[in-house]
Copies of this chain bind each other. A is one copy, B any other.
Amino acid sequence: MFERIAILGAGLIGASIALAARESGAARAVIMFDRDPDVRNRAHALGLGEIADSAEAAVAGAELVVLAMPVGAMVEAMAAIGPALAPGAIVTDVGSVKRSVAEALAPLAPPHAFLIPGHPIAGTEHSGPEAGFASLFKGRWHILTPLADARPEYAAAVEKLAAFWCALGANVEQMTPARHDVVLAVTSHLPHLIAFNIVAMAEDLESVTESEVVKYSASGFRDFTRIAASDPTMWRDVFLHNRDAVLEVLGRFSEDLAALQRAIRWGEGDALYDLFDRARRMRREVIEAGQDTPTPNWGRDEPQ
């Protein structure tokens, strides 16, 4: 599909793309760069691909360039590689925010390259090149948010990029960057924010010690610690770059939580029951859609 692809950023996502692209045959050669020399060495030791000495060197001659770094680092990277991009090169990214990325990167892309922002709905709570694995994108959604570019060559590039992600096992959807940011604020950004909040809060309590929280965490709390273990740099950038959509849905969450708080204070059992019962139905839909396993406790408590 591609003779040569460049991946800038060798974390969980970049490493997984490298492994999946070669395993699937979607790319013959994978060139990687990471601005952290230690990460470059580890990516080299893992055999993820050829390691370049600079972002410019990595993208030279590449037909596809993937920005696999925190959203806040993308402008600098794009400015650096712009002049080095080959004619007809496709540039995409894997950031969890799309509107600010598209707006900031578009002016930096040379006219002979095709910028097509994207976001794989895949990941784990682990970080770094060692966390990558080839099947990460299998059966997961990949959202592309193409720019308003009417050239037929641009449309062809979008098709080619979609085919690349399909080859890695993903199902590809298209939407506008603004739509993406609203949807992900609900499904991803707010859940992570409240997980970070409850975990940090528990650490600060005076009434209950941290060791008690850890000891009895299997009663619910431990679920939140998993998503709160995600990369802090990546998440800082998400909240800085998707501020408006996150604040809007967070306002709604707080409003509903205040109503729930009031129902508890006044002992409104029926209202509590109805709300809890509705929440249960959503679980069934998630499982029917193939987005989670029906195994109790995700199977993590199975006897070893």
Residue ID in chain B nearest A246 by CB atoms? B264
Bound form: Cα–Cα A226–B227 in Å: 14
Residues of chain B within 8 A of A278, CB atoms compared: 199-200, 203
A280 within 8 A of B: yes
A76 within 8 A of B: no
Q: Are B201 and A252 in contact (CB under 8 A)?
A: yes
Bound form: Cα–Cα A212–B183 in Å: 7
| Docked complex: A208-261 residues within 8 A CB-CB of B | 208, 210, 212-230, 232-233, 235-236, 239-240, 243, 246-250, 252-254, 256-258, 260-261
A113 to chain B, nearest CB (A): 28
**Contacts A201-B253, A208-B182 given: A221-B187 contact, CB under 8 Å?**
yes
A272 interface neighbour in B125, B236, B260, B296, Cβ under 8 Å: B236
Identify the stretch in A58-66, A84-92, A283-291 within 8 Å (CB) of chain B at 4 or more residues: A283-291
Bound form: Cα–Cα A210–B195 in Å: 21
Identify the stretch in A31-39, A46-54, A134-142, A148-156 within 8 Å (CB) of chain B at 4 or more residues: A134-142
Residue ID in chain B nearest A190 by CB atoms? B198
A202 within 8 A of B: yes
- The count of chain A contact residues (Cβ–Cβ below 8 Å) is 110
Q: Are B121 and A218 in contact (CB under 8 A)?
A: yes
A32 to chain B, nearest CB (A): 21
Q: Are A292 and B254 in contact (CB under 8 A)?
A: no
Interface residues of A, dominant DSSP: helix
A167 to chain B, nearest CB (A): 16
Bound form: Cα–Cα A96–B220 in Å: 12
A31 to chain B, nearest CB (A): 26
- How many copies of the polypeptide does the oligomer hold? 2
A277 within 8 A of B: yes
Bound form: Cα–Cα A239–B275 in Å: 13
Q: Are B216 and A282 in contact (CB under 8 A)?
A: no
Contact with B along A179-202 (1 / 0, CB 8 A): 000111011111111111111111
Q: Are B215 and A141 in contact (CB under 8 A)?
A: yes
A224 interface neighbour in B96, B136, B143, B191, Cβ under 8 Å: B191
Q: Are A200 and B252 in contact (CB under 8 A)?
A: no
Contact with B along A90-129 (1 / 0, CB 8 A): 0000001000000000000000000000000111111000
Q: Are A220 and B214 in contact (CB under 8 A)?
A: no
Q: A184-B216, A194-B257, A232-B273 are in contact. List 11 more A-B contacts (CB 8 A).
A: A125-B283, A126-B296, A141-B216, A200-B279, A203-B282, A217-B291, A225-B282, A225-B286, A230-B276, A250-B261, A292-B300
25 CB < 8 A contacts A-B: A121-B216, A125-B283, A135-B303, A141-B218, A187-B202, A187-B216, A190-B198, A191-B223, A192-B220, A194-B257, A195-B220, A197-B257, A197-B260, A199-B283, A200-B278, A201-B256, A202-B282, A210-B282, A217-B292, A220-B227, A229-B283, A232-B272, A239-B272, A250-B261, A298-B299
